[in-house]
Amino acid sequence: MSDIAFAIRKSEAFKTISTAIMSSRAPHALFIEAPDPFHEKIAVEMARLYLCESGNGDDECPSCRSWNEGDHPDFIRPVEWGKSPGIDDCRKMAAELYLAPVVAPRRFLAIPRGSGLSLPAANSLLKILEEPPTWGALLILSDGGGLPETIKSRTWQLTIDLKEEVSPLALPEGKDGWLSLIASASKMTQQEALVMMNMWINWCLGNGEIERAAMIDKIRLIAEKGHIPNYMAFDLLYAFLEEELSDELFDNLW
């Protein structure tokens, strides 16, 4: 289990939902306020809870064995985590929620970046909130306001602030450490790479390495805007932090 997943499971919101599921009081609709980079990880961990036959989210039941990294036959997720789904996407995913479960006791639908939903897209979710299938559960994630009160008022509302809960992470050691990280970058989502860079920033700040923290933050912002893929972000960090490449190159990256 990654540090991020572990931190999510330590959060009060996760414990609250876990207790509700174990006592057969699982809400059919959740609203969780959390920073955007964590939405995918939070959705996966909450889905693991809801889709597990025993309710603990991590055992050898047929449903838990059906997970393939972040995918599951009864986990309904957007094609892209990095943007708010449109009305057509919301309608399509909502229709999938009404299909009978494949292997789990429930089906679970996750909607990221809820604050960016258009009003028609948000309203398309009202049917699920008012007439949910007995096996269906909906999670809406948001980094702040913007979601209509008609939606929020029909959900359990929780907050997860992983900026405080994720431990600082030391930078890779030496050239071999960086090369190993760069080689594995293609297996990471953009959100995972951004979170890792935030953890490095926290580690540098904690060790008084202000300039290094600022350099990582510059690369993180460029990556967040989608200008460069994960492997290139890590490659640039190695060049700037370990080989002292001139930061004049930043002007060409924005």
Q: Where are the domains of the chain?
A: 3-165, 174-252
Using CA atoms, how far residue 58 sits from 47, 63, 76, 184, 223, in Å, is 11, 10, 19, 25, 32
Q: What is the pTM of this model?
A: 0.70
Percentage with pLDDT > 90 across the chain: 50
Average pLDDT value for residue range 18-28: 92
Q: Which CATH class is domain 3-165?
A: alpha beta
Average pLDDT value for residue range 198-209: 85
State the pLDDT confidence band at 3, using cuts at 50, 70 and 90. Answer: low
Task: Answer left, alpha or beta for residue 32, where phi above 0 means left and psi between -120 and 50 means alpha.
Answer: beta
Closest to 162 (Cα-Cα) out of 48, 32, 52: 32
E strand residue ranges, 51-172: 75-76, 107-111, 136-142, 156-159
Q: How far apart are CA 50 and CA 63, in angstroms?
A: 10
Judged against a pLDDT cut of 60, whether residue 73 lies above it is answered with yes
Lowest model confidence (mean pLDDT) among 21-35, 122-136, 190-204: 190-204
Tell me the sheet residues that pair with 30. 139, 156
Judged against a pLDDT cut of 90, whether residue 161 lies above it is answered with no
Q: How far apart are CA 42 and CA 60, in angstroms?
A: 21
E strand residue ranges, 68-222: 75-76, 107-111, 136-142, 156-159
State the pLDDT confidence band at 51, using cuts at 50, 70 and 90. Answer: very high
Q: Which residue has the tokens 């059919």?
A: 28
**234: burial class by Cβ within 10 Å (0-12, 13-18, 19+)?**
buried
CB–CB of 7/116 below 8 Å?
A: no
What's the whole-number average pLDDT of the chain? 87
Q: How far apart are CA 109 and CA 74, in angstroms?
A: 8
Sign of the dihedral defined by the CA atoms of residues 36, 135, 14, 119, in that order: positive
